[in-house]
Amino acid sequence: MVKSDREEIMLRWIHEVDGENHWQATYSRVDHSQESYYEGFDYDNTDVIDFFDFKWTYAVNGEHLLSFGID
């Protein structure tokens, strides 16, 4: 017997400063729970994972991008 529930959300905002610069912020959340019973062992767990990142991108020229960020 395995019962698993999972909910996910992801939000992203991209802001163009000008033709060569933009920044991006991302947030995601995963809520996962599982109950299982297998060959005499039971397992019951809930995980909540939050993620955030921020990235600045600069177009050096038509062929290269330079990105700095943190997550």
DSSP per position, 7-44: EEEEEEEEEE-SSSEEEEEEEEEEEEEEEEEETTEEEE
pLDDT of amino acid 14: 96
Q: For 15-52, what is each residue's pLDDT tens digit?
A: 999 989 999 999 999 999 999 988 888 889 999 999 99
Q: How many CB atoms lie within 10 A of CB 34?
A: 14
pLDDT of amino acid 36: 92
Tokens for 12, please give them.
């992203």
